[in-house]
A and B are shown apart, each in its own frame.
Chain A
């Protein structure tokens, strides 16, 4: 029998309103445990989780109160679809909140449109005959329809092809922009995290390693390597160049920025070389 250990240990962080917040950590780092705490599926042994002005760790708080505040979309959420039609499935969450029928229908329509599907075309279709990307959208709509103040997405693009991957991310951005709520994005894809998030939290062995902007977080190369995380691919490339003597900025996070700086650096070096050549010729 394993001895009792702390899955999460002294975790504290804040997320400002309207932020896209990234969480990264390798498999088994405590990420899922953390998400389940945020959603009230697990209760902490000690400590508090406060959303707005409500402490969701209070013992007498109703589950529906938590669900109204935080929506959690699990990995491969399409595996939870169960109703005969898309509309009915999306209505499951709002119905559990005990809303009036009219309100439910309005939210279902809104959520389906928000995830980029046409309500009229999809409402009567069976969720089981949709494509992989569409199923995932429907599943995400099922949580969005509960209108949470914060939406957590655990690996929303896992297993999708490049096109569906891009589309789902675009949809997440769109939802985030239109609702103006907190979105928490958990992903192994460092490029996505670097591109989308305002702030990033790194977790390992149930502890917070660091929190900061993508630039701050990905500048901590050694710490990240210690907890088994990679830099975004483009950052890996620019760091390799820096180590070979390239005079470019630390922690470049976009390909354009990388191209800009590498080009500038090469040109500067070239002029320098040409000048050297001229000088030798002069002598």
Chain B
């Protein structure tokens, strides 16, 4: 089911990681992602994995829960793994007809797989441990310096907030419409591509109509609740750096130093 996707979902908690300033978490995640792309050896991954492991342990989010979030991308993972393992030339370890596995290919496949897994686990930690609204607030704050050059930071953040809120609602709506059309004999599974694309019209039209209705209702409700853009708006969870945030900055700097040192030395 589409609703089982954990990617991009919040895992309620009150851990040290949860309480960190969202700006710190966003920057840390970006740093982590950049690191994964800079690193060119397994030791670097090792360091990253250990750091991620510590963050996960502190956060209290069950590892199984995070791993389940990887399920939707399992196919991509297997595909890239297979692509790397069979396509890279080098020292042949195993061969069958035109298929061959090389040591280099194996290494690259494992390397890329680890990178992908760490990448996804790292970025899902951000959304798992940060309330969606705090996340969008964080993004808004981080983008606010660019307001001067005309970047609508608040509006971007608000759009993300609403998207996060309504994705499940729209999925549910799509599910309902699909069932209703199936009950009218619609067939989404058979036929060629053109036929199948055409069979989506009875779902997409009502879904768009629903989305517009939601948008209209929501706009009215937001206006009624005195929404007037970002001006003079306060936040319930105001953002102030606490001690833990400074501690996190120190850790991030240390992490950066280790990575740089590691890639220079090795």
Contact = CB atoms under 8 A, between A and B. Distances in A.
Does A associate with B in a complex?
yes
Interface of A: 1, 36, 39, 41, 63-64, 67, 71-74, 77, 79-82, 92-93, 96-97, 128, 142-143, 146
B210 A79 contact: yes
Main secondary structure of the interface of B (DSSP, over half): helix
Contact of A39 (B173, B183, B205): B183
B209 A74 contact: no
B185 A80 contact: no
Chain B interface size, as a band, is 10 to 19
Interface stretch (B18-26, B123-131, B174-182): B174-182
Interface in B132-183: 173, 176-177, 179-183
B187 A80 contact: no
B186 interface: yes
B187 A79 contact: no
B176 to A, nearest CB: 7
Nearest to B186: A96
A96 B184 contact: yes
A41 B201 contact: no
A81 to B, nearest CB: 7
Most buried by B among A80, A81, A143, A146: A80
A146 B186 CA distance: 12
Contact of B183 (A1, A64, A71, A82): A71
B206 interface: yes
B53 interface: no
Contacts of A71: 183
Most buried by A among B182, B183, B187, B206: B183
A79 B185 contact: no
A93 B179 CA distance: 13
Contacts of B206: 79-82
A146 B182 CA distance: 13
The 7 residue pairs across chains A and B that have the minimum distance between CB atoms: A96-B185, A82-B205, A80-B180, A93-B184, A72-B183, A74-B180, A67-B185
Interface in B178-207: 179-187, 201-202, 205-206
B200 to A, nearest CB: 11
Contacts of A77: 180
Given A80-B180, A142-B184, A92 B210 contact: no
A146 B184 contact: yes
Contacts of B176: 74, 79
Given A63-B185, A92-B184, A96-B185, A74 B179 contact: yes
Contacts of B179: 36, 41, 74
23 contacts: A1-B68, A63-B187, A67-B184, A67-B185, A73-B183, A74-B180, A74-B183, A79-B173, A79-B180, A79-B210, A80-B181, A81-B206, A82-B201, A82-B205, A92-B181, A92-B184, A92-B186, A93-B184, A96-B184, A96-B185, A97-B185, A143-B184, A146-B184
Contacts of A1: 68
A105 to B, nearest CB: 17
Contacts of A36: 179
A72 B184 CA distance: 8
A64 B176 CA distance: 20
Most buried by A among B180, B202, B209, B210: B180
Contacts of A79: 173, 176-177, 180, 206, 209-210
Contacts of B182: 41
A79 B184 CA distance: 13
Contacts of A143: 183-184
Contacts of B186: 92, 96
Contacts of B210: 79
A97 B186 CA distance: 9
Contacts of B180: 74, 77, 79-80
Contacts of A142: 184
Contact of A92 (B173, B177, B202, B209): B202
Contacts of B68: 1
Contacts of A82: 201-202, 205-206, 209
Given A79-B176, A143-B183, 6 more contacts: A41-B182, A74-B183, A82-B201, A96-B185, A96-B187, A142-B184
Contacts of A93: 184-185
A101 B176 CA distance: 29
Contacts of A41: 179, 182-183
B177 to A, nearest CB: 6
A128 B68 CA distance: 42
